[in-house]
Amino acid sequence: MATRLIVAIDGPAGAGKSTTARMLAAALGYALLDTGAIYRVMALRARERGIAWDDGPGVAALADGLNISFKLEGSVNRVFTDGHDLGTSIRTPEISDGASRVSALPEVRAALLDLQRRIGAAGGVVVEGRDIGTVVFPHAEAKFFLTASADERARRRVAELRAAGRPAELDTTRAELMARDERDSTRAAAPLRKADDALEIDSSALNPAEVVARMAAVVAERTAERTR
Ligand code: DC
């Protein structure tokens, strides 16, 4: 059987992680694990149950019995809890903010670590997030740190929101992204940071196919090293 690696893709919001992770997973025949979606589900659950986003133990307790699954359908990675499709409810700007807030709580990160490791352990998976190459899968065989300029990331996020039928302004969206990056990068628990052995790719002037081609070449190289 072919060697199946763990591929980690980290980077700030709007750098193109989701699109490229999805395309790379499809090209490799790998599964896709969107860890940001897990933090988004936690923020949504907390909101629904009246638990404050800064209540560490309260939000962490929501991870108990969390039954989350994903289904890649064309260009959409559907997210389910207990078999119920969450649709775009976890993709609103409000839940983006909530996900960033709950993800800063050490209790919440600890509660979700095993879950993420269990889902990815068998390999043959592309995992995207903020701390995948540094904390969740420090031994991942291929690691990428995807970046893009703040202006480009904001433009992409606006296009994404508008395509989903949500009105979005460039200035507001840019400010929200910057605030989220600042919180995600400066928190004490598993901050967003490039792993020393990750390959940094600036996607500002690259299209997704170009980014994926670079990633696929590295994965092919690492796979060959392991099959030798
Ligand atoms: O990738 P995303 O925009 O869906 O992530 C939402 C938030 O979740 C992000 O602002 C920070 C947090 N997150 C995290 O802390 N660690 C991860 N591995 C993935 C996401």
pLDDT digits 0-9 by tens, 79-129: 999 999 999 899 998 999 999 999 999 999 999 999 999 989 889 999 999
Residue nearest to atom 12 of ligand 1 (CA): 100
Report which residue type is found at 62: L
Ligand 1 midpoint to CA 57 (Å): 19
Give the strand pairing for 125-129 and 6-10. parallel
Residue nearest to atom 2 of ligand 1 (CA): 36
40 lines ligand 1 (CB under 6 A): yes
Question: Packing angle between helix 35-48 and helix 93-102, nearest 10 degrees?
Answer: 100
Q: Which residues does 145 contact at the CB level (< 8 Å), separation at least 6?
A: 10, 11, 133, 194, 195, 198, 199, 200, 201
| Per-residue pLDDT reduced to its tens digit, 207-219 | 999 999 999 999 9
Ligand 1 midpoint to CA 143 (Å): 17
Average pLDDT of 157-173? Answer: 90
| Per-residue pLDDT reduced to its tens digit, 13-46 | 999 999 999 999 999 999 999 999 999 999 999 9
Residue nearest to atom 11 of ligand 1 (CA): 100
Average pLDDT of 131-158? Answer: 96
Average pLDDT of 182-208? Answer: 95
Ligand 1 midpoint to CA 224 (Å): 31
Residue nearest to atom 6 of ligand 1 (CA): 36
Residue nearest to atom 20 of ligand 1 (CA): 36
Q: Which residues does 54 contact at the CB level (< 8 Å), separation at least 6?
A: 101, 105
For the chain, the first-to-last Cα distance in angstroms comes to 13
Q: Is 2's pLDDT higher than 90?
A: no
Q: How confident is the model at residue 227 (pLDDT cuts 50, 70, 90)?
A: confident
Q: Give residue for tokens 């992770």.
A: 21
Average pLDDT of 179-196? Answer: 94
| Per-residue pLDDT reduced to its tens digit, 47-71 | 999 999 999 999 999 999 899 999 8
Ligand 1 midpoint to CA 127 (Å): 12
pLDDT the model gives residue 111: 96
Among 100, 126, 127, 153, name the best residue to mutate to test ligand 1's pocket (greatest count of ligand atoms within 8 A of Cβ).
100
77 lines ligand 1 (CB under 6 A): no
Q: Which residues does 87 contact at the CB level (< 8 Å), separation at least 6?
A: none
Residues 202, 20: contact at Cβ < 8 Å? no
157 lines ligand 1 (CB under 6 A): no
What pTM does this model have? 0.95
Sketch out the chain's domains with CATH numbers.
6-212 (3.40.50.300)
Q: Is 134's pLDDT higher than 80?
A: yes
Ligand 1 midpoint to CA 96 (Å): 8
10 lines ligand 1 (CB under 6 A): no
pLDDT the model gives residue 228: 75
pLDDT the model gives residue 73: 84
Compute the half-sphere exposure of residue 193: CA atoms within 13 Å on the CB side of its CA. 13
